[in-house]
Amino acid sequence: MTETYVITFHVKPEQRVRFRELLDPVLDAMRHEDTFVHAALHVDPEDPCVFQLHETWRDRDDVLNVQLKRPYRDAWHSALDSLLAMPRDIRVWQPLRADP
């Protein structure tokens, strides 16, 4: 069964560009992983410093034990404290219905 990780980021205003510079290569790399299904990055139209990332994966164990430890994530994870105004909010969702 797939799971979607919904992650909300409150980015420091002066770090918006760097946030994307570090996150975009991670998104580009992870799309080639075997258990990856889909990702979408959103920005709050009322607050350009609030982003929400939806990542859908086929295997929770793979996400926790393999994907989060991929070297292409190292710079991103190392920079999070300097990028964010508050800790990210991570929630896990399971699908009930999907329509094309």
* CATH code of the domain covering residue 73: 3.30.70.100
Per-residue pLDDT of the chain (100 residues; tens, 9 = 90+): 899 999 999 999 999 999 999 999 999 999 999 999 999 999 999 999 999 999 999 999 999 999 999 999 999 999 999 999 999 999 999 999 888 7
Cβ-contact 58, 4 below 8 angstroms: no
Cα separation, 48 vs 60, in Å, equals 30
- Parent domain of 20: 3-93
- 16 is a domain residue: yes
Question: Could you tell me what percentage of the chain is helix, strand and coil, using 3-state DSSP and rounding each to the nearest 5?
Answer: 40, 35, 25
For residue 41, what are the β-bridge partners? 53
- 98 is a domain residue: no
Task: Please give the C-alpha separations between residue 53 and each of 5, 28, 92, in angstroms, as whole numbers.
Answer: 8, 13, 12
- 89 is a domain residue: yes
Domain tally for the chain? 1
